[in-house]
Amino acid sequence: QKEVEQNSGPLSVPEGAIASLNCTYSDRGSQSFFWYRQYSGKSPELIMFIYSNGDKEDGRFTAQLNKASQYVSLLIRDSQPSDSATYLCAVNPQYGNKLVFGAGTILRVKS
């Protein structure tokens, strides 16, 4: 089992819709969780991080964490074509200071 799993996509949504990106992780003791956005040919950039169960909102983005189910998600409301990118889920395991990344989900927002 991979440590951090994401559906590779592509996930296609129409402009203005809600995009839902999902991630599961294997280390039950993981402490903190991150969503990065990566445009083609660019480096990852942080969108949000979350460490408590529940929801965390920042503008059009909402991160959701369920530690019991070992599941973290990212919702993007009012999706825009500029949101088209690869979204990487990253998890900080219980031991160590090394983020573990998922393979990423490709999101395509169609106008």
Partner 1 sequence: NAGVTQTPKFRILKIGQSMTLQCTQDMNHNYMYWYRQDPGMGLKLIYYSVGAGITDKGEVPNGYNVSRSTTEDFPLRLELAAPSQTSVYFCASKNDGTYVLSVANVLTFGAGSRLTVL
Judged by beta carbon, residue 43 or residue 111, the one nearer partner 1 is 43
Dig out the tokens for 54 from the structure: 């529940």
Least distance CB 31 / partner 1 (angstroms): 7
Contacts with partner 1 by CB under 8 A lie at: 4, 6, 8, 31-32, 34, 42-46, 49, 51, 88, 92, 97-104
The count of C-alpha atoms lying within 13 angstroms of the C-alpha of 100, restricted to the half-sphere facing its C-beta, is 19
Least distance CB 101 / partner 1 (angstroms): 4
Judged by beta carbon, residue 40 or residue 111, the one nearer partner 1 is 40
Kindly report the number of other CB atoms within 10 A of residue 68's CB atom. 7
Least distance CB 88 / partner 1 (angstroms): 6
What CA–CA distances, in Å, run from 107 to 64, 75, 83? 18, 12, 7
d(CA 12, CA 21): 11
Judged by beta carbon, residue 12 or residue 14, the one nearer partner 1 is 12
